[in-house]
Amino acid sequence: MTMKICSIASGSSGNCIYVESGKTKVLIDAGLSGKRITQGLGQIGVDGEDLDGILITHDHSDHVKGVGILSRKYNIPIYSNVSTWEEIKQKMGKINPEHIQHFQSNKSFDIKDFHIKPFPTSHDACDSVGFCLYGNNKKISIATDLGYISKDILEELTGSDMVILEANHDEEMLKVGPYPWYLKKRILGEQGHLSNESAGNALVKLVEKGLKKVLLAHLSKENNFPELAYQTVYNILQENKININKDIALDIASREQISALYCL
C-alpha cells in the first residue's frame, strides 16, 4: 500500500488537500464549494462517501467554506481544535454532534490507518495548525498559511517524505503591488504568509535532512505566479548545490486545478 496525496485547489480563493493511506481517506481543509470538492475528488476516483474525516487548519473561509455541507452530505467527522471550532461553528449549519471531533495542538491522534500530529503555526487565526500525517511508514507534512518557519516548525517538518509548503508571494511584487499598506504589512508580518524566498531557504534545510518531494502551495494571484515561485526556489536550491529532480522533486499546486496524484 502507498500513501497518496492530491491538492484539489490551493490559494486564497479556496484550499483542499486529499490524503490517503491504506483504507483511510481524509481531507485537509475544505475551503471550496462542496460541489467543486466532490468534482475534484471524482477526477482521482474518490467518492465523498469514502472520506473518513476533514481536518481543519484554521478558521479562515478559504479553508472551511465547504466543511459543513460535506459533513452533512457524506456523514464525515470534522476534526479541529476547540478554538477553531468556536470560530466556525456558526457557519457550519447543523452538524451531527458525533461528527465534531476536537484535537489539541502538539498532541497526536489517530484516524484508522493515519497517525496525525497537529503543530502550531504563526498565522492571524485562532490556534492555527499544520499537520504531519504518518501512514505506511511514510510521512507527509502540510505547512501553509504561516508568517515564518520557526525552529519548532522546521523540526516538525524534518523527516518528511513529502511537504506541501506555502510559497505565497514575491516580496517585491507585493511591495509595489496594488494592495493597501495594512494588507501588505499583514502578509509580510510574522502572522501572515510565507514568501517564495522563505520557502526556498526552509527547503534547503529540509533537503539536507532527507526531504525528497515538495509541492509549493497557496500562491497569491496578485503577488506571485507559478513560474516565479518555481524559479525563485529553484535558484536558492541550486545556489546550495541541491539539484532539482535528482535531490528533490519540485512542483506547484494550482489555484484552480487539481494537482497530480502523488504516490509515496
Element (H, E) at 132: strand 129-135
- Could you tell me if 96 and 186 lie in one domain? no
Q: Measured between alpha carbons, how far is 111 from 159 in angstroms, rounded to an integer?
A: 21
Residue with cell 502578509: 187
- Could you tell me if 244 and 178 lie in one domain? yes
- Could you tell me if 97 and 154 lie in one domain? no
- Could you tell me if 92 and 158 lie in one domain? no
Residue 209: its pLDDT value, please? 93
**Residue at 60 is within a domain:** yes
- Could you tell me if 159 and 106 lie in one domain? no
- Could you tell me if 11 and 105 lie in one domain? yes
Q: Measured between alpha carbons, how far is 46 from 213 in angstroms, rounded to an integer?
A: 23
- Could you tell me if 84 and 152 lie in one domain? no
Closest CA to 247 of 187, 206, 218, 191: 206
**pTM, entire model:** 0.96
Q: Measured between alpha carbons, how far is 133 from 106 in angstroms, rounded to an integer?
A: 13
User: pLDDT tens, position by position, for the chain (264 residues)?
Assistant: 689 999 999 999 999 999 999 899 999 999 999 999 999 999 999 999 999 999 999 999 999 999 999 999 999 999 999 999 999 999 999 999 999 999 999 999 999 999 999 999 999 999 999 999 999 999 999 999 999 999 999 999 999 999 999 999 999 999 999 999 999 999 999 999 999 999 999 999 999 999 999 999 999 999 999 999 999 999 999 999 999 999 999 999 999 999 999 999
Domain harbouring 169, CATH code: 3.40.50
**Residue at 86 is within a domain:** yes
**Residue at 262 is within a domain:** no
Residue 16: its pLDDT value, please? 98
Residue 1: its pLDDT value, please? 67
- Could you tell me if 37 and 83 lie in one domain? yes
Give one DSSP letter per residue of 45-67, joined into a string: T--GGG--EEE---S-HHHHTTH
Cβ atoms of residues 60 and 125 within 8 Å:
yes
Domain harbouring 30, CATH code: 3.60.15.10
Residue 175: its pLDDT value, please? 96
Residue 152 domain boundaries? 146-255
Number of domains composing the chain: 2
* Domain edge (last residue) among 89, 110, 131: 110
Q: Measured between alpha carbons, how far is 243 from 37 in angstroms, rounded to an integer?
A: 35
What angle do helix axes 67-74 and 34-43 make, rounded to 10 degrees? 70
